[in-house]
Structure 1
Protein backbone atom coordinates (compact mmCIF):
# COMPACT_ATOMS: atom_id res chain seq x y z
CA UNK A 1 0.00 0.00 0.00
CA UNK A 2 1.31 3.45 -0.93
CA UNK A 3 2.14 5.53 2.16
CA UNK A 4 0.17 8.44 0.69
CA UNK A 5 -3.12 6.54 0.35
CA UNK A 6 -4.47 6.72 3.90
CA UNK A 7 -3.60 10.42 4.40
CA UNK A 8 -5.41 11.11 1.12
CA UNK A 9 -8.44 9.11 2.19
CA UNK A 10 -8.55 10.95 5.52
CA UNK A 11 -8.59 14.25 3.61
CA UNK A 12 -11.40 13.01 1.37
CA UNK A 13 -13.45 11.83 4.36
CA UNK A 14 -15.15 15.23 4.68
CA UNK A 15 -17.49 14.13 1.86
CA UNK A 16 -16.52 17.05 -0.40
CA UNK A 17 -14.90 16.96 -3.81
CA UNK A 18 -11.17 17.75 -3.90
CA UNK A 19 -9.43 18.42 -7.19
CA UNK A 20 -6.32 16.51 -8.11
CA UNK A 21 -4.45 19.80 -8.42
CA UNK A 22 -5.43 20.91 -4.89
CA UNK A 23 -4.46 17.52 -3.44
CA UNK A 24 -1.14 17.58 -5.30
CA UNK A 25 -0.32 20.99 -3.83
CA UNK A 26 -1.42 19.94 -0.35
CA UNK A 27 0.76 16.80 -0.30
CA UNK A 28 3.64 18.14 -2.35
CA UNK A 29 3.45 15.55 -5.14
CA UNK A 30 2.39 15.48 -8.78
CA UNK A 31 -1.21 15.12 -9.96
CA UNK A 32 -0.16 11.83 -11.55
CA UNK A 33 0.95 10.55 -8.13
CA UNK A 34 -2.41 11.51 -6.65
CA UNK A 35 -4.26 9.74 -9.45
CA UNK A 36 -2.11 6.60 -9.29
CA UNK A 37 -2.35 6.39 -5.53
CA UNK A 38 -6.13 6.82 -5.39
CA UNK A 39 -6.55 4.22 -8.13
CA UNK A 40 -5.28 1.63 -5.63
CA UNK A 41 -8.12 2.36 -3.17
CA UNK A 42 -10.41 -0.16 -4.83
CA UNK A 43 -8.03 -2.98 -3.88
CA UNK A 44 -8.86 -2.20 -0.24
CA UNK A 45 -12.60 -2.23 -0.85
CA UNK A 46 -12.81 1.59 -0.86
CA UNK A 47 -15.19 3.25 -3.32
CA UNK A 48 -14.26 6.70 -4.63
CA UNK A 49 -16.33 9.11 -6.70
CA UNK A 50 -14.31 10.77 -9.45
CA UNK A 51 -15.85 13.49 -11.65
CA UNK A 52 -13.91 15.38 -14.30
CA UNK A 53 -13.60 19.03 -13.36
CA UNK A 54 -14.55 18.43 -9.72
CA UNK A 55 -12.05 15.87 -8.50
CA UNK A 56 -12.33 13.08 -5.96
CA UNK A 57 -14.82 12.39 -3.19
CA UNK A 58 -15.14 9.62 -0.63
CA UNK A 59 -18.89 8.93 -0.24
CA UNK A 60 -18.56 6.63 2.77
CA UNK A 61 -15.64 7.33 5.08
CA UNK A 62 -13.98 4.53 7.05
CA UNK A 63 -14.41 4.53 10.82
CA UNK A 64 -11.11 6.32 11.45
CA UNK A 65 -9.18 5.85 14.65
CA UNK A 66 -8.52 9.04 16.58
CA UNK A 67 -6.28 9.30 19.66
CA UNK A 68 -8.17 12.34 20.97
CA UNK A 69 -11.53 10.54 20.75
CA UNK A 70 -10.06 7.45 22.41
CA UNK A 71 -8.70 9.54 25.29
CA UNK A 72 -12.03 11.32 25.69
CA UNK A 73 -13.87 7.98 25.85
CA UNK A 74 -11.32 6.69 28.38
CA UNK A 75 -12.27 9.45 30.80
CA UNK A 76 -10.37 9.09 34.09
CA UNK A 77 -8.44 6.16 32.63
CA UNK A 78 -6.84 8.37 29.97
CA UNK A 79 -4.01 9.16 32.38
CA UNK A 80 -3.15 5.45 32.59
CA UNK A 81 -2.33 5.00 28.89
CA UNK A 82 -0.27 6.53 26.13
CA UNK A 83 -2.22 6.22 22.86
CA UNK A 84 -0.49 6.23 19.49
CA UNK A 85 -2.45 5.84 16.25
CA UNK A 86 -0.58 5.03 13.03
CA UNK A 87 -1.93 4.64 9.51
CA UNK A 88 0.07 1.58 8.48
CA UNK A 89 2.67 -0.64 10.07
CA UNK A 90 4.12 -4.10 9.66
CA UNK A 91 2.87 -5.34 13.03
CA UNK A 92 1.97 -3.45 16.20
CA UNK A 93 3.48 -6.24 18.30
CA UNK A 94 6.71 -6.21 16.29
CA UNK A 95 6.94 -2.42 16.57
CA UNK A 96 6.65 -2.49 20.37
CA UNK A 97 9.16 -5.34 20.57
CA UNK A 98 11.62 -3.10 18.69
CA UNK A 99 11.06 -0.22 21.12
CA UNK A 100 13.91 0.71 23.53
CA UNK A 101 13.88 -0.72 27.04
CA UNK A 102 12.83 2.63 28.52
CA UNK A 103 9.73 2.88 26.29
CA UNK A 104 6.65 3.94 28.27
CA UNK A 105 4.60 1.53 30.36
CA UNK A 106 1.03 1.04 29.05
CA UNK A 107 1.86 2.41 25.63
CA UNK A 108 -0.98 1.41 23.28
CA UNK A 109 -0.07 1.31 19.60
CA UNK A 110 -3.09 0.95 17.31
CA UNK A 111 -2.94 0.78 13.51
CA UNK A 112 -5.44 1.42 10.75
CA UNK A 113 -3.82 -1.39 8.76
CA UNK A 114 -1.06 -3.95 9.26
CA UNK A 115 0.80 -5.42 6.30
CA UNK A 116 2.54 -8.15 8.31
CA UNK A 117 0.16 -8.70 11.20
CA UNK A 118 1.03 -11.76 13.24
CA UNK A 119 -1.17 -14.31 14.90
CA UNK A 120 -0.25 -17.20 17.13
CA UNK A 121 2.01 -20.04 15.89
CA UNK A 122 3.27 -18.03 12.92
CA UNK A 123 -0.12 -17.31 11.38
CA UNK A 124 -0.92 -14.08 9.55
CA UNK A 125 -3.52 -11.80 11.16
CA UNK A 126 -5.70 -10.14 8.52
CA UNK A 127 -6.64 -6.51 9.09
CA UNK A 128 -9.14 -4.42 7.12
CA UNK A 129 -9.25 -0.63 6.91
CA UNK A 130 -12.10 0.45 9.17
CA UNK A 131 -13.17 -3.16 9.68
CA UNK A 132 -10.61 -4.37 12.21
CA UNK A 133 -9.21 -3.24 15.52
CA UNK A 134 -5.55 -4.23 15.80
CA UNK A 135 -3.53 -2.93 18.72
CA UNK A 136 -0.71 -3.81 21.07
CA UNK A 137 -0.08 -2.62 24.61
CA UNK A 138 3.31 -2.60 26.33
CA UNK A 139 2.92 -3.67 29.96
CA UNK A 140 5.68 -3.82 32.57
CA UNK A 141 5.55 -6.44 35.32
CA UNK A 142 7.76 -6.75 38.39
CA UNK A 143 7.32 -10.53 38.29
CA UNK A 144 9.41 -12.96 36.28
CA UNK A 145 8.28 -14.79 33.18
CA UNK A 146 6.88 -17.78 35.09
CA UNK A 147 4.33 -15.53 36.82
CA UNK A 148 2.93 -14.47 33.43
CA UNK A 149 1.97 -17.99 32.32
CA UNK A 150 -1.76 -17.23 32.45
CA UNK A 151 -1.57 -13.72 31.00
CA UNK A 152 -3.34 -14.57 27.72
CA UNK A 153 -6.26 -16.00 29.73
CA UNK A 154 -6.50 -12.80 31.79
CA UNK A 155 -6.59 -10.80 28.56
CA UNK A 156 -9.32 -13.16 27.36
CA UNK A 157 -11.39 -12.11 30.38
CA UNK A 158 -10.72 -8.50 29.40
CA UNK A 159 -12.15 -9.12 25.93
CA UNK A 160 -15.10 -10.97 27.40
CA UNK A 161 -16.03 -8.02 29.63
CA UNK A 162 -15.47 -5.52 26.81
CA UNK A 163 -17.67 -7.30 24.30
CA UNK A 164 -20.42 -7.83 26.84
CA UNK A 165 -20.41 -4.08 27.48
CA UNK A 166 -21.50 -3.68 23.84
CA UNK A 167 -24.21 -6.31 24.08
CA UNK A 168 -22.20 -9.22 22.65
CA UNK A 169 -23.24 -11.70 25.32
CA UNK A 170 -22.76 -15.11 23.69
CA UNK A 171 -19.01 -14.93 23.18
CA UNK A 172 -16.89 -17.81 24.40
CA UNK A 173 -13.20 -18.31 25.08
CA UNK A 174 -11.00 -20.95 23.48
CA UNK A 175 -7.82 -21.88 25.30
CA UNK A 176 -5.43 -20.21 25.33
CA UNK A 177 -6.07 -17.04 23.34
CA UNK A 178 -9.12 -16.97 21.05
CA UNK A 179 -12.55 -15.41 21.37
CA UNK A 180 -15.34 -17.28 19.58
CA UNK A 181 -18.96 -16.72 18.68
CA UNK A 182 -20.89 -19.81 17.65
CA UNK A 183 -17.51 -21.55 17.34
CA UNK A 184 -16.25 -18.99 14.81
CA UNK A 185 -13.27 -16.79 15.59
CA UNK A 186 -14.10 -13.21 16.51
CA UNK A 187 -10.89 -12.03 18.18
CA UNK A 188 -7.40 -13.22 19.00
CA UNK A 189 -4.61 -12.51 21.47
CA UNK A 190 -0.85 -12.68 20.97
CA UNK A 191 1.39 -12.31 24.03
CA UNK A 192 5.14 -11.82 23.59
CA UNK A 193 7.37 -11.42 26.65
CA UNK A 194 10.79 -9.84 27.16
CA UNK A 195 12.81 -9.95 30.35
CA UNK A 196 14.33 -12.27 32.93
CA UNK A 197 13.12 -15.41 34.62
CA UNK A 198 13.11 -13.62 37.98
CA UNK A 199 11.86 -10.27 36.66
CA UNK A 200 11.17 -7.58 35.83
CA UNK A 201 9.52 -8.39 32.50
CA UNK A 202 7.73 -6.58 29.69
CA UNK A 203 4.74 -8.14 27.95
CA UNK A 204 3.55 -7.00 24.56
CA UNK A 205 -0.20 -7.69 24.59
CA UNK A 206 -1.44 -7.92 21.02
CA UNK A 207 -5.19 -7.93 20.35
CA UNK A 208 -7.11 -8.23 17.10
CA UNK A 209 -10.90 -7.92 16.82
CA UNK A 210 -12.94 -8.41 13.64
CA UNK A 211 -15.49 -5.64 13.19
CA UNK A 212 -16.52 -5.97 9.53
CA UNK A 213 -14.74 -8.41 7.24
CA UNK A 214 -15.47 -8.47 3.50
CA UNK A 215 -16.11 -11.87 1.97
CA UNK A 216 -12.83 -11.71 0.07
CA UNK A 217 -10.95 -11.46 3.36
CA UNK A 218 -12.98 -14.20 5.01
CA UNK A 219 -12.22 -16.49 2.09
CA UNK A 220 -8.49 -15.95 2.59
CA UNK A 221 -8.55 -17.04 6.25
CA UNK A 222 -7.92 -20.72 6.98
CA UNK A 223 -10.61 -21.02 9.66
CA UNK A 224 -14.21 -20.07 10.24
CA UNK A 225 -14.52 -16.43 11.32
CA UNK A 226 -17.17 -13.88 12.22
CA UNK A 227 -17.26 -10.15 12.99
CA UNK A 228 -19.05 -7.76 15.31
CA UNK A 229 -21.26 -6.32 12.58
CA UNK A 230 -22.66 -9.78 11.80
CA UNK A 231 -23.34 -10.39 15.49
CA UNK A 232 -24.45 -6.93 16.56
CA UNK A 233 -26.25 -5.89 13.38
CA UNK A 234 -24.41 -2.57 13.15
CA UNK A 235 -20.84 -1.34 13.09
CA UNK A 236 -19.46 -0.60 16.55
CA UNK A 237 -17.38 2.56 16.85
CA UNK A 238 -13.73 1.52 17.04
CA UNK A 239 -12.63 4.45 19.22
CA UNK A 240 -15.27 3.63 21.82
CA UNK A 241 -14.44 -0.08 21.59
CA UNK A 242 -10.72 0.49 22.16
CA UNK A 243 -11.40 2.82 25.08
CA UNK A 244 -13.62 0.21 26.72
CA UNK A 245 -11.01 -2.48 26.07
CA UNK A 246 -8.25 -0.46 27.72
CA UNK A 247 -10.44 0.41 30.71
CA UNK A 248 -11.22 -3.25 31.32
CA UNK A 249 -7.57 -4.18 30.74
CA UNK A 250 -6.56 -1.73 33.47
CA UNK A 251 -8.90 -3.48 35.93
CA UNK A 252 -7.95 -7.01 34.93
CA UNK A 253 -4.19 -6.38 34.93
CA UNK A 254 -4.42 -4.88 38.41
CA UNK A 255 -6.14 -8.09 39.54
CA UNK A 256 -3.65 -10.29 37.68
CA UNK A 257 -0.58 -8.53 39.08
CA UNK A 258 -1.85 -8.95 42.65
CA UNK A 259 -3.42 -12.41 42.54
CA UNK A 260 -2.53 -14.07 39.26
CA UNK A 261 -5.42 -16.06 37.80
CA UNK A 262 -6.94 -17.04 41.14
CA UNK A 263 -9.77 -14.48 40.98
CA UNK A 264 -10.16 -14.61 37.18
CA UNK A 265 -10.10 -18.35 36.57
CA UNK A 266 -13.78 -18.95 37.37
CA UNK A 267 -14.85 -16.16 34.98
CA UNK A 268 -12.71 -17.64 32.20
CA UNK A 269 -13.99 -21.18 32.79
CA UNK A 270 -17.61 -20.03 32.77
CA UNK A 271 -17.09 -18.87 29.16
CA UNK A 272 -14.94 -21.83 28.05
CA UNK A 273 -16.15 -22.92 24.62
CA UNK A 274 -14.93 -26.51 25.07
CA UNK A 275 -15.77 -27.05 28.73
CA UNK A 276 -16.23 -30.77 29.52
CA UNK A 277 -16.00 -31.63 25.83
CA UNK A 278 -13.55 -34.03 24.18
CA UNK A 279 -10.62 -32.21 22.58
CA UNK A 280 -7.49 -33.03 20.66
CA UNK A 281 -4.41 -30.97 21.50
CA UNK A 282 -1.75 -30.79 18.78
CA UNK A 283 1.69 -30.28 20.30
CA UNK A 284 4.59 -28.39 18.72
CA UNK A 285 6.52 -31.65 18.18
CA UNK A 286 3.68 -33.14 16.13
CA UNK A 287 2.28 -35.39 18.84
CA UNK A 288 -1.26 -35.08 20.17
CA UNK A 289 -3.15 -35.52 23.42
CA UNK A 290 -6.83 -36.43 23.56
CA UNK A 291 -9.08 -35.97 26.58
CA UNK A 292 -12.01 -34.08 28.07
CA UNK A 293 -11.29 -30.40 28.84
CA UNK A 294 -12.17 -30.20 32.54
CA UNK A 295 -10.82 -26.79 33.51
CA UNK A 296 -7.77 -24.68 34.20
CA UNK A 297 -4.84 -25.21 36.53
CA UNK A 298 -3.78 -22.32 38.76
CA UNK A 299 -1.10 -21.30 36.27
CA UNK A 300 -3.53 -21.32 33.33
CA UNK A 301 -2.64 -24.74 31.95
CA UNK A 302 -5.51 -26.64 30.32
CA UNK A 303 -6.56 -29.67 32.37
CA UNK A 304 -7.53 -32.79 30.46
CA UNK A 305 -9.09 -36.02 31.71
CA UNK A 306 -7.86 -38.80 29.45
CA UNK A 307 -9.47 -42.11 28.52
CA UNK A 308 -7.09 -43.99 30.86
CA UNK A 309 -8.41 -41.94 33.80
CA UNK A 310 -5.45 -39.62 34.12
CA UNK A 311 -5.45 -35.85 34.60
CA UNK A 312 -2.95 -34.01 32.41
CA UNK A 313 -1.99 -30.34 32.46
CA UNK A 314 -1.22 -28.95 28.98
CA UNK A 315 0.82 -25.75 28.86
CA UNK A 316 0.82 -25.15 25.10
CA UNK A 317 -0.72 -26.55 21.96
CA UNK A 318 -3.46 -26.15 19.38
CA UNK A 319 -6.87 -27.28 20.68
CA UNK A 320 -9.61 -28.76 18.49
CA UNK A 321 -12.91 -30.41 19.30
CA UNK A 322 -12.95 -34.15 18.64
CA UNK A 323 -15.15 -37.20 19.26
CA UNK A 324 -15.19 -38.90 22.61
CA UNK A 325 -13.56 -42.30 22.49
CA UNK A 326 -16.05 -45.19 22.76
Structure 2
Protein backbone atom coordinates (compact mmCIF):
# COMPACT_ATOMS: atom_id res chain seq x y z
CA UNK A 1 0.00 0.00 0.00
CA UNK A 2 1.47 3.36 -1.06
CA UNK A 3 1.88 6.08 1.54
CA UNK A 4 1.90 9.78 0.80
CA UNK A 5 3.10 13.05 2.32
CA UNK A 6 2.95 16.76 1.66
CA UNK A 7 5.90 19.16 1.70
CA UNK A 8 5.00 22.84 2.15
CA UNK A 9 7.64 25.56 1.70
CA UNK A 10 6.17 28.81 3.06
CA UNK A 11 7.71 31.86 1.41
CA UNK A 12 7.10 35.58 1.49
CA UNK A 13 5.31 35.57 -1.87
CA UNK A 14 4.03 32.02 -2.39
CA UNK A 15 3.70 28.72 -0.57
CA UNK A 16 5.17 25.91 -2.66
CA UNK A 17 3.33 22.63 -2.04
CA UNK A 18 4.54 19.20 -3.11
CA UNK A 19 2.56 15.96 -3.01
CA UNK A 20 4.93 13.01 -2.61
CA UNK A 21 5.05 9.28 -2.26
CA UNK A 22 7.07 8.54 0.85
CA UNK A 23 9.88 6.97 -1.21
CA UNK A 24 10.70 10.47 -2.45
CA UNK A 25 8.77 10.47 -5.73
CA UNK A 26 7.21 13.87 -6.42
CA UNK A 27 3.70 13.31 -7.80
CA UNK A 28 2.49 16.88 -8.11
CA UNK A 29 3.52 20.39 -7.13
CA UNK A 30 1.84 23.77 -7.20
CA UNK A 31 1.88 27.17 -5.53
CA UNK A 32 -0.63 29.30 -3.67
CA UNK A 33 -0.33 32.96 -2.74
CA UNK A 34 1.03 33.75 0.72
CA UNK A 35 -1.63 36.02 2.18
CA UNK A 36 0.23 38.25 4.65
CA UNK A 37 -2.80 40.35 5.61
CA UNK A 38 -3.75 40.45 9.30
CA UNK A 39 -0.36 39.13 10.36
CA UNK A 40 -0.56 36.13 8.02
CA UNK A 41 -3.61 34.83 9.89
CA UNK A 42 -5.02 32.89 6.92
CA UNK A 43 -1.79 31.30 5.62
CA UNK A 44 -2.20 27.95 7.36
CA UNK A 45 -5.92 27.71 6.59
CA UNK A 46 -5.14 28.41 2.92
CA UNK A 47 -2.56 25.60 3.00
CA UNK A 48 -5.04 23.26 4.67
CA UNK A 49 -7.64 24.04 2.01
CA UNK A 50 -5.12 23.40 -0.78
CA UNK A 51 -4.16 20.03 0.74
CA UNK A 52 -7.79 19.03 1.19
CA UNK A 53 -8.44 19.90 -2.44
CA UNK A 54 -5.52 17.76 -3.63
CA UNK A 55 -6.66 14.74 -1.60
CA UNK A 56 -10.15 15.07 -3.08
CA UNK A 57 -8.74 15.47 -6.59
CA UNK A 58 -6.54 12.37 -6.25
CA UNK A 59 -9.18 10.36 -4.39
CA UNK A 60 -6.75 9.60 -1.55
CA UNK A 61 -7.81 8.97 2.05
CA UNK A 62 -6.20 10.81 4.99
CA UNK A 63 -5.37 7.35 6.36
CA UNK A 64 -2.86 6.93 3.53
CA UNK A 65 -1.11 10.23 4.28
CA UNK A 66 1.89 10.17 6.61
CA UNK A 67 1.57 13.87 7.32
CA UNK A 68 2.68 17.36 6.31
CA UNK A 69 6.18 18.82 6.57
CA UNK A 70 6.34 22.62 6.66
CA UNK A 71 9.35 24.89 6.07
CA UNK A 72 9.07 28.48 7.32
CA UNK A 73 11.36 31.52 6.97
CA UNK A 74 12.35 31.80 10.62
CA UNK A 75 13.55 29.90 13.70
CA UNK A 76 11.37 26.95 14.77
CA UNK A 77 11.56 25.50 18.27
CA UNK A 78 11.30 21.78 19.00
CA UNK A 79 7.61 22.14 19.90
CA UNK A 80 6.75 23.53 16.46
CA UNK A 81 6.43 27.13 17.63
CA UNK A 82 7.73 29.85 15.32
CA UNK A 83 8.96 33.10 16.83
CA UNK A 84 8.82 35.99 14.36
CA UNK A 85 8.65 35.16 10.67
CA UNK A 86 8.90 38.74 9.46
CA UNK A 87 8.59 37.82 5.76
CA UNK A 88 5.12 36.33 6.27
CA UNK A 89 3.90 38.60 9.06
CA UNK A 90 3.86 36.01 11.86
CA UNK A 91 4.65 36.73 15.49
CA UNK A 92 4.40 33.63 17.69
CA UNK A 93 2.64 30.79 15.84
CA UNK A 94 2.43 27.10 16.73
CA UNK A 95 2.58 25.85 13.15
CA UNK A 96 2.41 22.16 14.03
CA UNK A 97 -0.65 22.43 16.28
CA UNK A 98 -2.58 24.90 14.14
CA UNK A 99 -2.10 23.11 10.83
CA UNK A 100 -2.61 19.75 12.53
CA UNK A 101 -5.94 20.90 13.94
CA UNK A 102 -6.99 22.22 10.53
CA UNK A 103 -6.12 19.07 8.59
CA UNK A 104 -6.31 16.21 11.07
CA UNK A 105 -2.83 15.15 9.93
CA UNK A 106 0.56 14.91 11.64
CA UNK A 107 2.57 18.08 11.06
CA UNK A 108 6.30 18.74 11.48
CA UNK A 109 7.77 22.24 11.04
CA UNK A 110 11.33 23.40 10.42
CA UNK A 111 13.35 26.36 9.24
CA UNK A 112 13.26 26.78 5.46
CA UNK A 113 17.04 26.74 4.96
CA UNK A 114 17.41 23.68 7.19
CA UNK A 115 14.75 21.75 5.26
CA UNK A 116 16.37 22.74 1.96
CA UNK A 117 19.59 21.17 3.24
CA UNK A 118 17.65 18.03 4.17
CA UNK A 119 16.16 17.95 0.69
CA UNK A 120 19.58 18.08 -0.96
CA UNK A 121 20.82 15.32 1.36
CA UNK A 122 17.78 13.12 0.69
CA UNK A 123 17.27 13.45 -3.06
CA UNK A 124 19.65 16.14 -4.31
CA UNK A 125 23.32 17.00 -4.79
CA UNK A 126 24.35 15.59 -1.38
CA UNK A 127 22.45 12.31 -1.73
CA UNK A 128 24.27 9.54 0.11
CA UNK A 129 26.03 11.95 2.49
CA UNK A 130 25.23 12.30 6.20
CA UNK A 131 27.34 15.35 7.11
CA UNK A 132 26.40 18.37 5.03
CA UNK A 133 26.62 22.15 5.07
CA UNK A 134 24.28 23.96 2.72
CA UNK A 135 24.61 27.67 2.07
CA UNK A 136 22.02 29.52 0.00
CA UNK A 137 23.14 32.73 -1.66
CA UNK A 138 20.10 34.80 -2.59
CA UNK A 139 18.80 38.17 -1.44
CA UNK A 140 20.27 37.08 1.89
CA UNK A 141 22.49 34.19 2.95
CA UNK A 142 20.78 31.17 4.46
CA UNK A 143 22.29 28.01 5.81
CA UNK A 144 21.57 24.52 6.98
CA UNK A 145 23.94 22.23 8.87
CA UNK A 146 23.41 18.47 9.02
CA UNK A 147 25.47 16.21 11.27
CA UNK A 148 25.00 12.44 11.03
CA UNK A 149 21.79 12.98 9.09
CA UNK A 150 20.27 15.34 11.68
CA UNK A 151 19.71 19.08 11.32
CA UNK A 152 21.58 21.23 13.85
CA UNK A 153 18.62 23.42 14.84
CA UNK A 154 19.77 24.58 18.28
CA UNK A 155 17.87 25.55 21.43
CA UNK A 156 15.84 28.35 19.84
CA UNK A 157 15.80 26.95 16.32
CA UNK A 158 18.43 29.43 15.13
CA UNK A 159 21.19 26.89 14.40
CA UNK A 160 22.68 27.15 10.93
CA UNK A 161 22.19 30.91 10.54
CA UNK A 162 25.38 31.07 8.48
CA UNK A 163 24.51 34.45 6.98
CA UNK A 164 24.92 36.18 10.32
CA UNK A 165 28.41 35.04 11.19
CA UNK A 166 30.52 38.16 11.77
CA UNK A 167 33.22 38.34 9.08
CA UNK A 168 34.23 41.99 9.41
CA UNK A 169 34.46 43.62 12.84
CA UNK A 170 35.13 47.03 11.24
CA UNK A 171 31.98 47.24 9.10
CA UNK A 172 30.10 50.54 9.53
CA UNK A 173 26.92 49.68 7.64
CA UNK A 174 24.23 47.73 9.44
CA UNK A 175 22.99 44.31 8.35
CA UNK A 176 19.24 43.68 8.13
CA UNK A 177 19.54 41.67 11.34
CA UNK A 178 20.77 44.75 13.23
CA UNK A 179 24.39 43.65 13.60
CA UNK A 180 27.44 44.74 11.61
CA UNK A 181 29.80 42.85 9.31
CA UNK A 182 27.65 39.77 8.72
CA UNK A 183 28.51 37.32 5.95
CA UNK A 184 25.19 38.23 4.31
CA UNK A 185 26.50 41.75 3.71
CA UNK A 186 29.17 40.37 1.36
CA UNK A 187 28.14 37.00 -0.08
CA UNK A 188 24.43 37.53 -0.86
CA UNK A 189 23.30 38.86 -4.23
CA UNK A 190 22.89 42.32 -2.70
CA UNK A 191 26.21 41.88 -0.89
CA UNK A 192 28.10 41.14 -4.12
CA UNK A 193 26.72 44.36 -5.62
CA UNK A 194 27.64 46.25 -2.45
CA UNK A 195 31.24 45.00 -2.60
CA UNK A 196 31.39 45.83 -6.32
CA UNK A 197 30.21 49.39 -5.79
CA UNK A 198 32.74 49.92 -3.01
CA UNK A 199 35.45 48.57 -5.30
CA UNK A 200 34.36 50.84 -8.16
CA UNK A 201 34.63 53.90 -5.90
CA UNK A 202 38.35 53.16 -5.47
CA UNK A 203 39.16 51.65 -8.88
CA UNK A 204 40.93 53.90 -11.38
CA UNK A 205 41.17 51.48 -14.32
CA UNK A 206 38.55 50.91 -16.98
CA UNK A 207 36.02 48.20 -16.19
CA UNK A 208 32.93 46.87 -17.92
CA UNK A 209 31.14 46.98 -14.56
CA UNK A 210 30.63 50.74 -15.01
CA UNK A 211 28.44 50.21 -18.09
CA UNK A 212 25.72 48.54 -16.00
CA UNK A 213 23.30 51.22 -14.84
CA UNK A 214 21.59 48.85 -12.43
CA UNK A 215 24.41 46.47 -11.49
CA UNK A 216 23.48 42.94 -10.38
CA UNK A 217 25.43 40.03 -8.95
CA UNK A 218 24.94 38.21 -12.26
CA UNK A 219 26.56 41.14 -14.07
CA UNK A 220 29.58 40.93 -11.77
CA UNK A 221 30.07 37.20 -12.36
CA UNK A 222 29.41 37.50 -16.11
CA UNK A 223 32.05 40.23 -16.46
CA UNK A 224 34.47 38.19 -14.37
CA UNK A 225 33.95 35.21 -16.70
CA UNK A 226 34.73 37.57 -19.59
CA UNK A 227 38.04 38.43 -17.91
CA UNK A 228 37.28 41.90 -16.53
CA UNK A 229 40.02 42.63 -14.00
CA UNK A 230 37.92 44.60 -11.51
CA UNK A 231 35.07 42.08 -11.66
CA UNK A 232 37.57 39.29 -10.98
CA UNK A 233 38.82 41.23 -7.95
CA UNK A 234 35.26 41.53 -6.61
CA UNK A 235 34.59 37.82 -7.13
CA UNK A 236 37.85 36.94 -5.40
CA UNK A 237 37.04 39.19 -2.43
CA UNK A 238 33.51 37.83 -2.02
CA UNK A 239 34.60 34.21 -2.40
CA UNK A 240 37.51 34.78 -0.04
CA UNK A 241 35.12 35.94 2.68
CA UNK A 242 32.70 33.07 2.04
CA UNK A 243 35.43 30.44 1.78
CA UNK A 244 37.01 31.49 5.07
CA UNK A 245 33.64 31.55 6.85
CA UNK A 246 32.86 28.04 5.62
CA UNK A 247 36.28 26.80 6.71
CA UNK A 248 35.52 28.03 10.24
CA UNK A 249 32.21 26.15 10.27
CA UNK A 250 33.95 23.06 8.90
CA UNK A 251 36.28 23.06 11.92
CA UNK A 252 33.21 22.54 14.10
CA UNK A 253 31.15 20.06 12.07
CA UNK A 254 33.63 18.53 9.56
CA UNK A 255 31.21 18.08 6.62
CA UNK A 256 31.65 15.57 3.83
CA UNK A 257 30.18 18.03 1.34
CA UNK A 258 29.25 21.69 1.12
CA UNK A 259 26.26 22.46 -1.11
CA UNK A 260 25.93 25.95 -2.59
CA UNK A 261 22.47 27.02 -3.73
CA UNK A 262 20.37 30.14 -4.24
CA UNK A 263 20.30 32.54 -7.17
CA UNK A 264 23.98 33.47 -6.96
CA UNK A 265 24.93 29.80 -7.37
CA UNK A 266 23.83 30.04 -11.02
CA UNK A 267 27.25 31.60 -11.63
CA UNK A 268 28.51 28.01 -11.58
CA UNK A 269 32.13 26.90 -11.53
CA UNK A 270 33.64 30.38 -11.25
CA UNK A 271 31.91 30.64 -7.87
CA UNK A 272 32.54 27.14 -6.51
CA UNK A 273 36.15 27.05 -7.71
CA UNK A 274 36.98 30.38 -6.06
CA UNK A 275 35.19 29.51 -2.81
CA UNK A 276 36.95 26.16 -2.62
CA UNK A 277 40.34 27.79 -3.28
CA UNK A 278 39.92 30.11 -0.31
CA UNK A 279 38.35 27.37 1.81
CA UNK A 280 41.38 25.13 1.31
CA UNK A 281 43.77 28.02 1.97
CA UNK A 282 42.19 28.77 5.35
CA UNK A 283 40.95 25.37 6.53
CA UNK A 284 42.23 22.94 9.12
CA UNK A 285 44.17 20.27 7.23
CA UNK A 286 41.76 17.46 8.10
CA UNK A 287 38.87 19.42 6.52
CA UNK A 288 40.66 20.52 3.36
CA UNK A 289 39.31 17.67 1.22
CA UNK A 290 35.66 18.68 1.73
CA UNK A 291 33.70 18.40 -1.52
CA UNK A 292 31.89 21.40 -3.02
CA UNK A 293 28.80 20.93 -5.18
CA UNK A 294 26.06 23.10 -6.63
CA UNK A 295 22.54 22.43 -5.34
CA UNK A 296 20.59 20.01 -7.51
CA UNK A 297 16.93 20.51 -6.58
CA UNK A 298 16.59 24.25 -7.14
CA UNK A 299 13.44 25.77 -5.67
CA UNK A 300 12.05 22.31 -4.92
CA UNK A 301 14.67 21.51 -2.25
CA UNK A 302 12.51 22.85 0.57
CA UNK A 303 9.52 20.69 -0.37
CA UNK A 304 11.67 17.55 -0.52
CA UNK A 305 13.31 18.41 2.80
CA UNK A 306 9.94 18.97 4.47
CA UNK A 307 8.97 15.40 3.61
CA UNK A 308 12.32 13.96 4.71
CA UNK A 309 11.97 15.81 8.05
CA UNK A 310 8.48 14.40 8.47
CA UNK A 311 9.54 10.82 7.72
CA UNK A 312 12.69 10.85 9.84
TM range, smaller chain? under 0.3
Higher RCO, Cα 8 Å, sep 6+: 2
Q: Which has the higher helix share?
A: 2
Task: Provide TM-score, normalisation by structure 1.
Answer: 0.24
Largest Rg, 1 or 2: 1
Q: Which has the higher strand share?
A: 1
